[in-house]
A = this chain, B = another copy of it.
Amino acid sequence: MIGASLLTDQYELTMAASYHKHGMNGTATFDLFVRELPPNRNFLVAAGIEHAIDHLQSLSFEPDDIDYLSSLDLFDEDFLGFLGELRFTGEVWAMPEGEIYFGGEPLLSVTAPLIEAQVVETYLLNATTFPSSIASKSARLQIAARGRSFVDFSLRRDHGPGAGLLAARAAYIGGADATSNVLAGKRYGLPLTGTMAHSYVMSFDSEIEAFRTFARDFPTRAVLLIDTYDVEEGARRAAMVAEELRSEGVRLAGVRIDSGDLAVLTTAVRKILDESGCGDVPIFLSGDLDEYRIAELVDEGIPADAFGVGTQLGTSADAPALGGVYKLVADEHGPKMKTSTGKVSRPGRKQIFRCEENRYVEDILALAGEAPRNGRPLLHKVMENGTRTRAAESLDTMRDRCREGIARLPAHLRSLESSRAPYPVTLSTALAELTKEAATRTHG
């Protein structure tokens, strides 16, 4: 985002000014992590990392940023001059996008001169927590849909234009098959999808005329919206149009139901379609769907083939924010930890090791440099000296990683409700000892 270096909390800059004034710019390490999983979540899906790296790589306060900061009457010339030259020169370790992760596990570990590491806090949290929420929500929809297709229809309800783009991308990583968001399709190469609106149907003298016109205009892609007037009548009319298409060798792409009692209507529509020789025409459902409702419909054996999910996917409405934090875990004097009420941060630079058999068994939160007997390291070096050291992956690679991760989760963690037996994340002996030692050393 252009000029995004100023997209930070004011206190990041006042603290930076203070550090600068007092020559406090030694190397520091910050961990970005989520303390606790949101309600009903047994896992999260990493996303937004690439945008975080882009931000670090392009960090630069432009002359008009400096002019604005100068106008605030908070900063002296010396600091503003320093800020104008500031670039990110640090080292970053990160989880790849699409990776499953759990509470307390760093998504990002940033080691850099204190001021650089501090001024990017707000942006890094912003860039990673929202996409993680949406990729996680999408993964839950993938679990609920049990192999049926689902797509992102959220743009109109997302938190502004930018959120619409980020949501479409994260939804795809989490398993959505396509998005209705055309700009997201263009920007990220996502598959696009779409049907028709009620207003289209209403713009014709009759429903059948609307269906026939759209089917002729988009013979292989037309999904007819059949609930503008009466759903069952709509299904019969769609079947007539399907028959007309069939005579030209084309299969109607589908019908969509967007309102009413979806379970009852889908069953009735399936029967109408089947009895009209349209057994191959899929039924597409939408209308305030979420993973809970989709799981119900799928569990009841409702003959729906695909789902369009809007608000609930694009805003993660039942858990619209992740409590991500960015904590100082080491500085030039060594490991650090905070011990305020109920909020512990584990000290030191870290690595996470995932122990796997067929399924994920356990994660070990360890110190960087430890080499446990087994376990795959989840954090990879993505930047060194402020430069990317790992090429950006394709979204399909991220999406495949997420799909495999879900398949390898212990079965009880694929529940849509919180499991009483959360995934085990244990501390390595070295990290446990350092935590104990740091707690003793911590003072006021």
Contacts and interface: CB of A to CB of B under 8 A. Distances in A.
A367 interface: no
A160 B166 contact: yes
Interface in A82-106: none
From A182, A196, A234, residue with most partner B Cβ within 10 Å? A182
A292 interface: no
Contacts of A363: none
Contact of A183 (B4, B322, B331, B336): B4
A194 B118 contact: no
Contact of A186 (B6, B155, B182): B6
A9 B158 contact: no
B328 A203 contact: yes
A348 interface: no
A160 B127 contact: yes
From A122, A193, A324, A336, residue with most partner B Cβ within 10 Å? A122
A340 interface: yes
B114 A203 contact: yes
Interface string A317-347: 1001111100110010000101111110000
Contact of A324 (B14, B125, B156, B192): B156
Given A19-B203, A338-B202, A444-B207, A7 B320 contact: no
A340 B198 contact: yes
A326 to B, nearest CB: 8
A312 to B, nearest CB: 8
A9 B341 contact: no
Interface string A1-22: 1011011111111110111011
A182 B9 contact: yes
A191 to B, nearest CB: 10
A183 B443 contact: no
Contacts of A114: 203
A360 to B, nearest CB: 28
A33 interface: no
Nearest to A314: B321
Given A217-B21, A339-B229, A195 B11 contact: yes
A221 interface: yes
Contact of A10 (B164, B166, B193): B193
A123 B165 CA distance: 12
12 contacts: A6-B186, A11-B194, A12-B197, A22-B213, A24-B203, A114-B203, A130-B159, A157-B323, A159-B166, A198-B327, A230-B444, A311-B323
Given A9-B180, A229-B340, 7 more contacts: A12-B197, A14-B218, A127-B160, A130-B160, A130-B163, A199-B327, A202-B336
